[in-house]
Structure 1
Amino acid sequence: MTVDKHTTGLIHHPYVPPGGFEAPAPGVFKASTVIFPNTAALHARAWKDKSGYTYGLHGTPTTFTLEERIASLEGGLQALLVPSGLAAIALVDTALLRSGDEVLIPDNAYGPSKELARHELAAWGISHRFYDPMDPAALAAMIRPATRLVWLEAAGSVTMEFPDLPALVRVARERGVPCALDNTWGAGIAFDPFDLLPGQGDAPVGVDISVQALTKYPSGGGDVLMGSVTTRDEALHLRLKLSHMRMGWGVGANDVELVLRALPTLALRYEAQDAAGRALATWWQGRPEVTQVLHPALPGSPGHANWQALSVQAAGLFSVVFDARYSAAQVDAFVDRLRLFRIGFSWAGPVSLVVPYDLSTMRSRAAWQGTLVRFSLGFEAVADLIADCEQALAGL
């Protein structure tokens, strides 16, 4: 059949490049439509087990590759990609919870996760309560028949408490309640979320679900929004995957490409930012302007012993609590005087970041006094960051 070479001929060009091409970076496949060779393939092809491709939302070679690598990083067997870390939390909540159910959330959890429970989940008839993550016995006392999910977070958002994860997992398992961990801080590097308790034979025992904001360490560039949901149980994974499909969660191939490109340096970046964070946090411990330095790897920080029992690595993230003699306005002025630390949310990128927080609006219990400032370490020289803090403190 002769066709118009300027239109049809370009769309249906017969050339197929030879196979066997291999390079350090995986190929980037972009698709909404997936082409089937014939109707038999259309009827037979499956996507749930990654044995084939049916539609862009159900996966491409690019997204399958990142999912498999994230699953390996976390110690899981399968993973799903979603557009953000918060979307990962939302996927778990909506897949596992129904009207009349209850979810228990750490009081120091990521703020938007708590807001999701207060608004959307509550509107759907799903109740929630906040528990003290530093008291496993208190969690055990709160679990009741309606409890269908327990969230964990290590370290806690902003205030950086590190809970006894094995004890919390044991509480949930003994009562038959699934537990999901926000493992963004650990990034699959600091500890294995699926291997926290002694198992039967070679089978590890840990959380049921681990979510990450791939926005942070796996991306590392401050330019990608993405999340992941990782599991080890096939039935649980399928339940999440079907909900994922029905809600139409999808991620862009170019964003997946950026995370795939960054993963080979993840361990090196985590180690470098860990070292920088500890160095600056230790320097802050000697400053009279602050009453507490919150960093799981530093003795005296809440849950330090729990972190020490589980890991030797920590994220390049810490907070300081200014002495109550300094007003919130004075602390804001200190933050504004910083030059190398830029004011902005998120962390784990190349630029060091700083954010002041009013803890009275973030916690159920009035356990903190003074104003808190969170620091996220990038890749600047630590001596330069210390000098920046010194010049900003001089204004206090």
Structure 2
Amino acid sequence: MTTKYRELKKYFLQALNDSVTKLNHTLSQEKYGNETIESLKECVRMFETASSTFTLQPHISKEDINHIYEEFLLKIMNHYAQIDEKIITELKGECSFRELEQLFTEITSIRTISIIEFRTNRSYYSTLEQICGCIRELRREIEDILNGFYRNEKNNYNSLMRCLSSLKYAKWIEKYRLEVYSDVINNTKEQILQHVKELEKTVMQTDLDLDNCDKIERIDNIVSEINEMRVVEEIVPTIGQHIEKITSRYKSEIDNVFTIIKDTFDLEKWKKQKDSILDFSIAEKGFHYLNVCRRIHISFRNDSTLVINKLREFIREFSNVVQIEMTQCFTVIKQYENGNKQEIFDKASKLLSRLEEISEIKVKYIQVFTCFQNQRIIEDWERELECYLTDLSSEMTCLNAGENTDAVNNKLLIAKALSKLDRFLKGKKI
């Protein structure tokens, strides 16, 4: 009878051991599913029942039961600790909230086993707090970037997108800590969209015509910033239409000015209409405008470098044509002999007009004048006129002595015609 009694006790403890052994494969799985958790709960209930059954205690040592029970619980706790360690590692690494959700859901599921819940309280809430801390840090980064909107700082939209992409998958934390997440994604979307609309308003209300080259760089910075926002288009899809509208407006404004410059100073057209009046204030503004565009590397439909080279070519050709025209006028005047009197006065007026035009360009339109083929054109003409004045005086003295009336009259007419140019004779007069 005693032997049978001992065998029954041994059999009972072996049955407990076998129950745990049957779960060894389940306990070694990488992930515990719902079915596994239920099996573990059932086993825990069995041990707790055995441990608390009063009539069993005189026969089966509670220490023996607890020894088997603790070995069983240790396997569950080890699995829990491994998952918890994965969470901590993930938080220190990429911090993928999709991965964290799966891991945290599993340890939460394991904690539905009452004894495990009790034993993991401290570590569980410590881990939860670390996850919440990671979310708070991302929120602080986002808020700092968003605050940059109002400080006119250059914003890191790649960083913003990284934070938003991470937080997009962190909404699950609301099941555990509602106040940590609190719809940060939607709030951020609204602020980004509001910021884009304000930038759009600035761009749309700013004229970038020839008189506003000083505004180009600021608007270019705004447009560059707006295009950097494309990285958040996945989060804020409606931002795309604003970006397109702003960029299109900016390109159109710049290209329109480029076209005006090209059309106004079209060399082939001008060669056909050389008497057309040119507004060199447009050319001067054009140089300033194009230089700004070239400095900040603006190149849309028209390339700023190509346009500025065309403008320089036009000015050089203009200066050459004007030089030839002036020389021809002066030659006609000097060679006058009993011809059409009005012609030499017209030529003198033309010569004066060109000299005044070039003088004005030299003083008022410095960028334009630097493109002239001859940078000393005014000085050269002053010297040319002065030399001719000296020669003309000598000729008239000789002619007066010889009493050649016609020749003297011709020279007097030349002198009278050239008297229009007195201001270019450095104090001397004809």
TM-score (norm 1): 0.17
Bigger proportion of residues as strand? 1
Bigger proportion of residues as helix? 2
TM-score (norm 2): 0.16
